[in-house]
Amino acid sequence: MPLLTDLTAAVAAGKRTDTVRLTQELLAAGTGPQAIVEQGLVPGMAIVGDQFKRNEIFVPEMLVAARAMKEALKLLEPMLASAGIKPKYTAIIGTVQGDLHDIGKNLISMMWRGANFAVIDLGTNVPPEKYLAAAQEHKAHLVGLSALLTTTMPAMKETVRALKAAGLPNTRIMIGGAPITQAFATDIGADGYAADAGTAVDVAKQLVASLA
Partner 1 sequence: MSTTSMTGCERVNRMFARQDQDRIPRQDTFWPETITRWQREGLQWDHHDALRLLEADFAGLCWSWPPVFPGQRELLREDAETETVRDAWGGIVRTWKGRSGTPEHVGFGCDSRAIWEKTYRPAMLAAPNQVDVQMAAVRYADARKLGQWTHLSGVEGFEALRKILGDETCLMAMVDDPEWIRDVVAVHTEVVLRSWQSVLDQGVKPDGLWIYGDMAFNHATMCSPAMYRELVWPFHKQMADWAHERGMKVIYHTDGRVSGVLDLYIQAGFDCLQPIEAKAGMDIRQFAPTHGDRLAMIGNIDVMKMATNDLGLIEEEIRTKFAAGMATRGYAYHSDHSVPPQVSWDTYKAIIGMVERYGYY
Nearest to 146 by CA among 94, 205, 200, 201: 94
Greatest Cα-to-Cα distance within the chain, rounded to the nearest angstrom: 55
Amino acid 120 reads I
Amino acid 180 reads I
Q: Which of 1, 29, 30, 55 binds partner 1 (CB under 8 A)?
A: 55
Nearest to 94 by CA among 164, 175, 198: 175
Closer Cβ to partner 1, 36 or 175, answer by number: 175
Distance of CA 67 to the CA centre of its chain: 14
**Smallest distance, partner 1 to C-beta of residue 93, A:** 14
98 lies in the binding site for partner 1 (CB under 8 A): yes
Q: Which of 3, 28, 103, 165 binds partner 1 (CB under 8 A)?
A: 103
Q: Which of 3, 28, 81, 100 binds partner 1 (CB under 8 A)?
A: 100
85 lies in the binding site for partner 1 (CB under 8 A): no
Q: How far apart are CA 125 and CA 47, in angstroms?
A: 32
**Smallest distance, partner 1 to C-beta of residue 4, A:** 24
106 lies in the binding site for partner 1 (CB under 8 A): yes
**Smallest distance, partner 1 to C-beta of residue 10, A:** 14
# chain residues binding partner 1, by CB under 8 A:
32
β strands within the chain, DSSP E: 89-95, 117-121, 142-146, 172-176, 192-193
Nearest to 36 by CA among 47, 49, 27, 46: 27
130 lies in the binding site for partner 1 (CB under 8 A): no
66-80: buried (b, 16+ CB within 10 Å) or exposed (e) per residue?
A: bebbeebbeebeeeb
**Smallest distance, partner 1 to C-beta of residue 64, A:** 5
**Smallest distance, partner 1 to C-beta of residue 2, A:** 23
9-39: buried (b, 16+ CB within 10 Å) or exposed (e) per residue?
A: bbbbbbbbebbbbbbeebeeeebbbeebbbb
Closer Cβ to partner 1, 145 or 148, answer by number: 148
99 lies in the binding site for partner 1 (CB under 8 A): yes
**Smallest distance, partner 1 to C-beta of residue 206, A:** 19
Where does this chain bind partner 1 (CB under 8 A)? Answer: 14, 55, 57-61, 63-64, 67, 98-104, 106, 123-125, 148-151, 178-179, 181, 195-198
